[in-house]
Amino acid sequence: MQDGGEVLFLDGGGEVVVSIGRSGLSLQPLHPELFSSCWSSITLQPKLDNEIKFSDVYAVELLDKGPICGPWNTRTAIQGKKNIQMHRFVVHGITRTRKCPSPWVPCEYIFGHKDLKTCKNWFERLITCINNEGDRPKNLMVFVHPLCGKGRGVKNWETVAPLFNRAKIKTKVIVTDRAGHAYDTLVSLSDIELKALDGVVAVGGDGLFNEILNGILSSRYKASYPPTPEGFGYFGSNEKCEEQTRNGLNSTMPTPDSVNTTFPGNSTKCDDHEPLLSTSQRTGLEIPSLNSSKEPCIGEQDHLVSFPNDWFRLGIIPSGSTDAIVLSTTGERDPVTSALHIILGRRMSLDIAQVVRWKSSPTAEVLPTVRYAASFAGYGFYGEVIRESENYRWMGPARYDFSGTMVFLKHRSYEAKVAFLETPNTNSLTTSAEDDVTGAQPLQSRQRRPHKIICRTNCFVCKEASTSGQNSEDEIADSSRRICENAKWVWSKGRFLSVGAAVISCRNERAPDGLVADAHLSDGFLHLLLIRDCPLPLYLW
């Protein structure tokens, strides 16, 4: 030991003085001039700083006695590296590219010493330090979609599974074989089984992630009904609101045949031909009463484990066709990067939208259902594309282009009435009805919106919202109730080509900035995309 550290041999770097600090492993080369030149010449090695942070270390392993490569220099560059037989241990960490923070790449730091006891001592000390890193999962349930995207689900899991094994994370892997498989499995879990898990991972696309989300929340999340404006359709509310009619068009509610939603399943067949009209308990939570908008939704049975909580998390390893959730969070469609985020316990807050399908008529016997969306919900064009694409899953991601073209050429419009709570940024929407008769001018073009802050990886707006959002569930509910009571309703009715609601930016390869570039991960806003009936060329523009 020297000055609180100990001299070890670093593979490819030579002798270094290693010591354990508060946040990581400190490295001080004995021969800095030789160390710097030799390490930078090894292209396969990570960029070495003076510290290896524990937060970036996902595993430590003891190795058998073997060769430790000495440092490179002008002489040995020709003759080869000088190998020394030593006892070894390896520190598994991550490295990032210099240009951007993603993707993450696994890297190894192999240390050697002539004494086996010394290596074991370092191994045990490092294991203790790694275990002290909080929020890292130990037991996960993994759902793998074998047919998602280009059928890469199983292959992608086989690629990242060794990382989970190396990190000593237990995984129960379930390969889905039908639509609703993940949903049914999660709904049937007992409290004891659920408490044993630290989270659930989806190896698939956005559809599988949303299915898992609904399976978790359907019977265990006690949510209040969304507020309903007075006189909206056939059902009323005791709350007073200000009606601001957008135009004089017919306000007939959409018929059952024209209702669609973007909640894709994860099988080769769409089991639910009219998603918003589903009566199956597999696809949503049945609400027992419509009498009060403040009455919580109760599932079939009461559970001791409820959501949200501070320990259970959902993860996703991208394998889908668009992977909008992954691109909007980590910024990279890379299974290894996402797996390392999960293993290291990285977390971020996400907004979840509650979608309630009310009765289609006052005399309807079908009870309303509740679903949850993590990225996007759509009615009209978006819903038609998702529904049609289910018939062409054999085409892979190209099915969306094909279905989108077919639906676009049909140029179908939908009668709808949209009401939303006004925020300070939507004051200018309350313009005269005459401006909306043609429907050709987008609503957003008339808003005096503030400067857009595009949501990117490590977005400071999302970080600030996540930090300030660590409030209790009661505080969040009270805040939402106050907003609903003080805000006023804005109405827009007529014929629409599409009605969309984005929870996040929904970044994808076709739209690098997303459908809504300034929609942030946990800002508490739902971003509406209202496209009125207009000529086909104008819609394409």
Residues annotated as catalytic are: 206
In 3D space, the residue among 454, 458, 207 whose CA is nearest the CA of residue 332 turns out to be 458
Separation between Cα atoms, residue 266 and residue 205, nearest integer Å: 9
How many helices and strands (H and E) does the chain possess?
14, 18
Dihedral class, residue 256 (left if φ above 0, else alpha if ψ from -120 to 50, else beta): alpha
Other CB atoms within 10 A of residue 446 CB: 13
Other CB atoms within 10 A of residue 401 CB: 13
262 and 383 Cβ atoms separated by less than 8 Å: yes
Cα dihedral 221→225→226→229 (10° resolution): 180
Q: Which residue in the block uniquely carries the two structure tokens 């909008």?
A: 324
In 3D space, the residue among 351, 307, 308 whose CA is nearest the CA of residue 329 turns out to be 351
Full DSSP string of 73-106: -TTHHHH-PPEEEEEEEEEEEEEE-SSSS-SEEE
> What is the layout of strands, in order, in the sheet containing 57-69?
51-53, 24-29, 14-20, 6-10, 104-113, 83-96, 57-69
Q: Is the peptide bond before 226 cis (omega within 30 degrees of 0)?
A: no
What is the DSSP-derived secondary structure letter of residue 275?
G
Q: Which residue in the block uniquely carries the two structure tokens 């209202």?
A: 530
Strand 199-204 and strand 139-144: the pairing is parallel
Helix axes 381-389, 398-410, angle to 10 degrees: 130
Three-state DSSP class for 146?
Answer: coil
Which residue type sits at 503?
Answer: V
Separation between Cα atoms, residue 484 and residue 487, nearest integer Å: 5
Strand 199-204 and strand 313-318: the pairing is parallel
Which residues are CB-neighbours of 302 under 8 A, at least 6 positions away? Answer: none
